[in-house]
């Protein structure tokens, strides 16, 4: 008698797909009995919570004092994401009265639409903030929850496909520890892979037993994707239809029940995202990303063989840390995930039970890999990417094609579940090899301790905030950040937190997109305290200028120029503090 956990003990589930005529139809997907020790309902959530803590270690010991930085060179991006969630929380409490008009880049309006608003993440953050009393702690809990959900959703997907529960645990572990996720821990919205896995689970349900409930579930997860990450919302439009078509099958896709379910999915998703998406489109300024900026951030074939140096695998396999000329990103998925993912493709070819998902995951992974480098592809002076981004809504606003690497990894996670199930059925030697590959694969991608950005006082509480509150009107923080790398804007983002206290609009700002008028103002304001800069600030509506004294005194000529400006350019000193100088315009003070 074969053991209960052998692949041949798989049985057809009670809810197997039915034909339109109502006849029972055998399903090709593998099903397997579960060993008693793995049946506990609490075990998967506990395991993936542990994985989340380990994958972000030592974040859990710095919940109130640091933010995960990932591969970012400074704290600018994680701080900006914290500010984004804080603004969401403020607007939730105020009924979203001025949601899109964030107090940055004055006098430009609709400025919150220039970056990913993350409205659903903001609601979760607001609830956690209310419970724990700290925005920093709430933000880090959102990070840990996202990592946990990545594992849980991948586990549920692999179980829904009908693979072994051990394979589901392994796939969930891979999903939490993806090198891509570790690299992007400083970019909160890029951690949100769980809606993709849940969407794939809904596609599996749509293939097995289409219904109104399944359609509503698919629509819900598509909406969650859009409300947690604009990038993934747009990129999913390119890849999920391909996966659904292959998993369900071309002719099987066009049945009354499936079409009805898909229509309902579109209606549900559209209804849930209509308000935020139309609001963002209405306020979003600027043109499509230039091809130059897209090419600058596009993926490179060399990215697929590079593992970030902080990971253990880069030390164990030094050739994985050697950067190929032209490559900039770290898109190697990890040896364990890659090997088991390829085993899944072999399994799909040799065993019909694995065929549908093997083909779907393989096609999805290949398409994602091509899309990573797509902006670089040129055929007889024709760039297919330019045509594609004109066709797919929202794609022209996306700059970083290398983020398709997240989909490559997710589809490999699915394929790794197939590979693990197939190898487990091959006997004792194959099982030993599977365990070795899995252990190495999970350890290889660890990078303890991860890079943290320690905050200090992330939200300014200097006396100048009270002075600004007493002088209603736009504020300019001096100096303006010089253009270029994101690290130049860290102080600007820290100043943005002050708007949550004094509630006056800033002429400064940081975002995923800088409006042209602000770029021009910034260029001129960099010459402060010379007369052209002061005139430009006054014409932009500034009522108060808050100057960093350390910066002002770093060059003696600046003090000389400021004295002239106070005498000839209508400036007056409002207050002097140990680290700041508050200035106003005489016209504004009535003098």
pLDDT at 13: 39
More confident residue, 101 or 565: 101
pLDDT at 34 over 70: no
Q: pLDDT tens across 209-259, in order?
A: 999 999 999 999 999 999 999 999 999 999 999 999 999 986 677 888 999
**Residue 287 pLDDT:** 65
Q: Which position has the higher pLDDT, 27 or 422?
A: 422
- Tell me the CA distances in angstroms from 425 to 34, 127, 156, 345, 465, one per residue in order: 14, 46, 21, 16, 66
- Specify burial of residue 523 (Cβ count, 10 A radius: 0-12, 13-18, 19+): middle
Residues 6+ apart with CB under 8 A from 353: 10, 28, 29, 30
- Write down the pLDDT at residue 292: 83
Does residue 404 have a pLDDT over 60? Answer: yes
| Average confidence (pLDDT) over 71-98 | 95
The pLDDT of 567-582, averaged and rounded, is 88
pLDDT band at 20 (very low <50, low <70, confident <90, very high): very low
> Residue 60's pLDDT is what?
96
Rounded to whole angstroms, the Cα distance separating 492 from 406 reads 30
- Bridge partner residues of 584 (DSSP): 544, 572
Query: Is the peptide bond between 529 and the residue preceding it cis, with omega within 30 degrees of 0?
Result: yes
Position 295 scores a pLDDT of 86
Instruction: Scan for tokens 């891509």, then name that residue.
Output: 180
**pTM of the predicted model as reported, rounded to 2 decimal places:** 0.90
Res 37: pLDDT: 52
Q: What's the confidence (pLDDT) of residue 35? A: 53
- What order of strands is seen across the sheet that includes strand 475-478? 475-478, 544-548, 580-585, 571-576
Q: Which of 169-173, 263-267, 573-577 has the lowest mean pLDDT?
A: 573-577
User: Are the beta carbons of 313 and 444 closer than 8 angstroms?
Assistant: yes
* Mean pLDDT within 349-366: 93
pLDDT computed for residue 5 by the predictor: 41
H helix intervals, 108-249: 119-132, 135-161, 165-176, 179-183, 194-208, 212-228, 230-248
Q: Answer whether residue 25 shows pLDDT above 50.
A: no
Lowest mean pLDDT among 8-17, 111-120, 357-366, 471-480: 8-17
- Determine the average pLDDT of the residues in 42-61: 94
Residue 19 clears pLDDT 50, i.e. is over it: no
pLDDT at 76 over 60: yes
CA atoms lying within 13 Å on the CB side of residue 526: 9
Angle at 311 between CA 309 and CA 313, to 5 degrees: 95
CA distance 490 to 454: 13
pLDDT in the model for residue 401: 92
At residue 578 the predicted structure's pLDDT band, cuts being 50, 70 and 90, is confident
* pLDDT confidence bin for 512, thresholds 50/70/90: confident
Per-residue pLDDT band for 509 (boundaries 50, 70, 90) equals: very high
More confident residue, 13 or 40: 40
Kindly list the distances between the CA atom of residue 49 and the CA atoms of 110, 186, 387, 504, in Å, as whole numbers in the listed order: 38, 20, 43, 41
Cis link prior to 61 (omega < 30° from 0)? Answer: no
**Tell me, what's the pLDDT at 32?**
52
Would you state the structure tokens that stand for residue 83, as one six-digit string?
């500010």
**CA distances to 57, 263, 312, 326 from 61, in Å:** 8, 46, 21, 38
What tokens appear for 557 in the block?
A: 């000529």
User: Among 219-223, 281-285, 342-346, 474-478, whose mean pLDDT is lowest?
Assistant: 281-285
Three-class SS of 391-433 = HCCCHHHCCCHHHHHHHHHHHHHHHHHHHHHHHHCCCHHHHHH
The structure tokens 């994707």 sit at 225
Q: What is the DSSP string of 254-305?
A: SSHHHHHHHHHHHHHHHHHHHHHHHHHHHH--S-PPPHHHHHHH---GGGGG
Q: What is the mean pLDDT of the chain?
A: 88
**Percentage above 90 pLDDT, the chain:** 69
Question: What three-state secondary structure class fits 110?
Answer: coil
pLDDT of residue 589: 39
Q: What DSSP state is assigned to residue 579?
A: S
User: pLDDT, tens digit, for every residue of 304-318?
Assistant: 999 988 899 988 998
């Amino acid at each position: 008698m074969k053991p209960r956990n052998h692949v041949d003990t798989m049985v057809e589930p009670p809810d197997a797909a039915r034909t339109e005529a109502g006849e029972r139809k055998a399903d090709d997907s593998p099903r397997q009995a579960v060993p008693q020790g793995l049946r506990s309902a609490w075990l998967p959530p506990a395991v993936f919570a542990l994985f989340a803590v380990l994958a972000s270690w030592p974040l859990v010991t710095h919940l109130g004092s640091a933010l995960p930085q990932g591969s970012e060179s400074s704290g600018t991006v994680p701080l900006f994401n914290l500010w984004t969630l804080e603004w969401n929380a403020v607007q939730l409490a105020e009924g979203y009265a001025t949601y899109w008009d964030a107090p940055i880049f004055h006098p430009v309006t609709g400025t919150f639409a220039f970056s990913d608003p993350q409205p659903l993440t903001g609601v979760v953050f607001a609830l956690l903030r209310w419970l724990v009393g700290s925005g920093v702690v709430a933000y880090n809990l959102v990070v840990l929850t996202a990592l946990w959900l990545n594992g849980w959703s991948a586990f549920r997907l692999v179980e829904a496909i009908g693979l072994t529960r051990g394979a589901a645990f392994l796939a969930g572990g891979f999903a939490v520890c993806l090198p891509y996720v570790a690299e992007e821990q400083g970019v909160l919205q890029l951690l949100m892979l769980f809606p993709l896995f849940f969407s794939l689970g809904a596609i599996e349900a749509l293939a097995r037993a289409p219904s109104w409930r399944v359609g509503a579930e698919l629509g819900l997860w598509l909406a969650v994707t859009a409300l947690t990450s604009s990038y993934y919302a747009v990129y999913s439009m390119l890849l999920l239809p391909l996966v659904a078509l292959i998993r369900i099958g071309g002719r099987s896709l066009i049945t009354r029940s499936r079409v009805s379910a898909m229509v309902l999915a579109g209606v549900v998703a559209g209804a849930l995202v209509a308000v935020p998406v139309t609001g963002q489109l209405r306020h979003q300024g600027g043109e499509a990303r230039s091809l130059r900026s897209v090419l600058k951030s596009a993926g490179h074939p060399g990215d697929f063989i590079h593992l970030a140096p902080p990971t253990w695998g880069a030390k164990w396999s030094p050739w994985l840390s050697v950067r190929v000329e032209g490559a900039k990103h770290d898109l190697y998925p990890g040896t364990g995930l890659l090997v088991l993912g390829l085993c899944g493709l072999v399994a799909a070819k040799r065993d019909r039970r694995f065929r549908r998902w093997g083909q779907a995951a393989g096609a999805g992974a290949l398409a994602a890999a091509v899309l990573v480098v797509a902006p670089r592809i040129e055929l007889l002076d024709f760039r297919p990417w330019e045509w594609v981004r004109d066709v797919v809504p929202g794609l022209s606003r996306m700059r970083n094609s290398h983020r398709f690497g997240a989909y490559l990894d997710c589809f490999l996670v699915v394929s790794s579940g197939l590979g693990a199930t197939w190898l487990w059925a091959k006997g004792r030697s194959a099982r030993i090899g599977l365990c070795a590959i899995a252990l190495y694969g999970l350890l290889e991608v660890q990078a303890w301790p991860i890079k943290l950005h320690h905050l200090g006082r992330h939200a300014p509480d200097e006396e100048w905030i009270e002075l600004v509150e007493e002088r209603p009107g736009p504020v300019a923080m001096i100096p303006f950040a010089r253009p270029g790398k994101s690290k130049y804007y860290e102080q600007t983002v820290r100043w943005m937190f002050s708007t949550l206290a004094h509630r006056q609009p800033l002429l400064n700002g940081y975002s995923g997109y800088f409006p042209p008028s602000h770029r021009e103002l910034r260029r001129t304001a960099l010459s402060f305290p010379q007369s052209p800069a002061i005139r430009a600030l006054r014409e932009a509506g500034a009522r108060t200028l808050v100057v960093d004294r350390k910066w002002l005194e770093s060059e003696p000529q600046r003090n000389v120029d400021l004295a002239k400006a106070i005498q000839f350019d209508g400036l007056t000193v409002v207050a002097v503090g140990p680290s700041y100088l508050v200035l106003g315009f005489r016209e504004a003070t009535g003098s």
